[in-house]
């Protein structure tokens, strides 16, 4: 059963990585309609943390989680399991924070951000469901 957990997480991290890369590499007007939704989120001050675009952090973090999970499937260790669980837990807290910002502060939603946020929350649900394994 444990391999199923990590294979599901692998897919979720790949989806999040793809969405983060879209937000990082493709210009805003290409992926977002001007003045609404994604554009509002991407041009807000909340799009940066410590002067770096959040999508850059996401790309790096999801690549790391993807690779960590891949290697956990190939050669399981308790240390990798704990790192994945920690990454999913912290990522889910951040995802909930970004959902709060989109919902209650910006009143606008970025479809790619939502994919990342809901993927992280789904990863947390999967992790909690198979916590003991």
Domains annotated for the chain, with CATH where assigned, are: 2-26+42-129 (1.20.1440.130)
Q: Each residue of 94-114: pLDDT tens digit? A: 999 999 999 999 999 999 999
* pLDDT at site 32: 80
Identify the three-state secondary structure at position 55.
helix
Per-residue pLDDT at 1 exceeds 60: no
Query: Who's near 61: CB < 8 A, 6+ residues apart?
Result: 87, 91
Query: Which two structure tokens, joined as six digits, stand for 98?
Result: 């970004």
pTM equals 0.91
């Amino acid at each position: 059963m444990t391999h199923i957990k990590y294979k599901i997480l692998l897919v979720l991290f790949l989806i999040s990585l793809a969405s983060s890369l879209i937000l990082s590499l493709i210009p805003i007007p290409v992926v977002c309609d001007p003045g609404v939704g994604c554009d509002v989120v991407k041009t807000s001050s909340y799009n940066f943390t410590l002067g770096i675009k959040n999508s850059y952090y996401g790309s790096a973090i999801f690549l790391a989680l993807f690779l960590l999970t891949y290697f956990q499937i190939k050669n399981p260790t308790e240390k990798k399991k704990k790192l994945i669980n920690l990454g999913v837990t912290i990522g889910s807290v951040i995802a909930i924070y970004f959902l709060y910002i989109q919902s209650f502060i910006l009143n606008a939603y970025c479809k790619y951000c939502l994919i990342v946020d809901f993927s992280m929350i789904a990863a947390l649900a999967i992790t909690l469901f198979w916590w003991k394994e």
